[in-house]
Structure formats: C-alpha cells, structure tokens
Amino acid sequence: MSTSTGVPLLEAESVDLAYPGGPAVVRDASLVVHAGAAIGIAGESGSGKSTLARALLGELDPVRGAVRVGGRPWRDVKRRDPERLIAQMVYQDPYSALNPLLSPRQAVEEALAVCRGMPRARRRAEARELLGSVGLPERSFDVRPKRLSGGQRQRVVIARALACEPRS
C-alpha cells in the first residue's frame, strides 16, 4: 500500500463479492492503491484473487461494501469516462486472453481504437511501437496467436493493456 495522500486510483472498502446465485467468494476485503504503488494479492487457488481483481476494474459489483476508482463508485463511471482506463487487466493465462483470429498487431490496434479513439492511419505505427517495446520480435507481429509461445502471448497482452495508457 502506498503512503501517498491524494485520492486513491483504486479502493475497495469492506467488500463482499459473489457470483449470481452463489455464496460469497470474497468477504470483507479492503485495499487502497495510490498512483505509483504496486500491490500483490496472494492466496490459494480459488480464494477469490481474480474475482477481487475483476471488482477493482469495475467488471463485478460488490454485494456489500464499495469499490471506487478515482474516488468515484464504479457504478457511477460511464463507459466513456477517463476513469475506465485507469487500470487494465493482464490476464494470467495468455493462451485464452487473446482472440485467436487477431494477430498481435491487430489486437493492439483494436485496443488503440477502443481506448484512445486513435485514427486508423496512426494505429499501425503505434501498435508496432508498443509490440516492440515489450520485446516481441517484429516477425511475430502479423502471425496468429497459436504460433506464439506463452511468453510471447503474454507480451502481446501487456502491449494491449499499455495501448490504453493506464495510469502509473
């Protein structure tokens, strides 16, 4: 946890999380993430780490407590609000995190279009720069994900997340 005194980027306060029709998966979770902070969430398999991450990114509403982004409850953050881009998920499993029909370049270009509204003419060059910045070899930019190693897929997922310019 950071010792910064500003408004936290992400905050969970006494959160309980559950999936529809199921029991609570996470109980009474609280955390604060300030700009520049790095956190780790540790626990056994099935303990709710991914569920908590989904709530922190506004993908899952708590059944109790509050999750806030930039000081605002996620439920008040609209689809086009800049707070949506504060954080991006880098999924643990790079094999299922990518669309098998999109090349790495296309996947990053899609994120640039959605997150930044970048014109098509600029997307290709920006995607190439992002993929290069994470160490993906240029020969891999236009192949399908099934031809990439797990580490290369993870680099594509990271480049795609960076395309949305999350805050640090």
Counting other chains too, the contacts that 56-62 makes at CB distance below 8 Å and 24 or more residues apart are: 56/10, 56/12, 56/87, 57/87, 57/88, 57/89, 58/84, 60/17, 62/12, 62/15, 62/16, 62/17
Residue 108 located in a structural domain: yes
Predicted pLDDT at 1:
37
How many other CB atoms are found less than 10 A from the CB of residue 143? Answer: 13
Identify whether residues 157 and 110 lie together within a single domain.
Answer: yes
Q: What is the DSSP string of 20-76?
A: TTS-EEEEEEEEEE-TT--------TTSSHHHHHHHHTTSS--SEEEEEETTEEGGG
Residue 96 located in a structural domain: no
Q: Which residue has the higher pLDDT, 87 or 147?
A: 147
Q: Where do we find the tokens 């569920």?
A: 51
Residues linked to residue 98 through DSSP beta bridges, in sequence order = none
Identify whether residues 117 and 158 lie together within a single domain.
Answer: yes
Per-residue model confidence as pLDDT tens digits over 121-139: 999 999 999 999 999 999 9
Any idea how long the chain is? 168
Identify whether residues 129 and 67 lie together within a single domain.
Answer: no
Residue 1 neighbours by CB under 8 Å, 6+ apart = 31, 32, 33, 34, 37, 39
Which of 31, 46, 81 is the last residue before a domain boundary? 81
Residue 126 located in a structural domain: yes
Residue 82 DSSP class: G
pLDDT of 41 higher than 70:
yes
Identify whether residues 113 and 77 lie together within a single domain.
Answer: no
Residue 94 located in a structural domain: no
Give the count of domains, the chain.
2
DSSP H/E element including 160 = helix 150-162
Identify whether residues 75 and 113 lie together within a single domain.
Answer: no
Residue 34 located in a structural domain: yes
Identify whether residues 25 and 71 lie together within a single domain.
Answer: yes
Predicted pLDDT at 5:
59
Identify whether residues 158 and 111 lie together within a single domain.
Answer: yes
Q: Could you tell me the residue range of the domain that residue 153 belongs to? A: 104-162
Residue-averaged pLDDT of the chain = 89
Identify whether residues 18 and 77 lie together within a single domain.
Answer: yes
